[in-house]
Amino acid sequence: MLSICLLPVFCNHLSTTPATMTSEKRKRKCNFTTNELLILEENMAIEENRKIITSKFTDAISNEQKRLKWEEIAAKCSSAGPVTRTGQEVRDKWQSMKSHAKRDITE
């Protein structure tokens, strides 16, 4: 048996326009350029950067050092490309590059 809700107060979940549809769609950033990728690779090749970023410690101080290092690398990438990158975007790109490299090796 179907029950129909007659009180709009209790039927918020049945709204016809979800909140995500009413807001503006986020613009997609352009792909990383070759220069940005080279800068990312060069910075990850530096032993000091790699030591900080790949550290297994996850306390507040270590996490802040990692975040600042990613922001520093993002600033370098942004200076070489047409788009401003965040540390999280650069970190995600590095993770993606690593996974693609691992997949290519196993194939």
**pLDDT tens, 44-100?**
999 999 999 999 999 999 999 999 999 999 999 999 989 999 999 999 999 999 999
Q: Is 53 a domain residue? A: yes
Q: Is 17 a domain residue? A: no
Residue 18: predicted pLDDT: 53
Residue 11: predicted pLDDT: 46
pTM above 0.75, yes or no: no
pLDDT classification of 43: cutoffs 50, 70, 90: very high
What is the span of the domain harbouring residue 50? Answer: 30-106
Q: Is 51 a domain residue? A: yes
Span 21-39, pLDDT tens digits? 567 888 889 999 999 999 9
Alpha-carbon distance 35 to 77, whole Å? 8
Burial of 73 (0-12, 13-18, 19+ CB in 10 A): buried
Q: Is 22 a domain residue? A: no
- Which residue, 41, 39, 88, is CA-closest to 66? 88
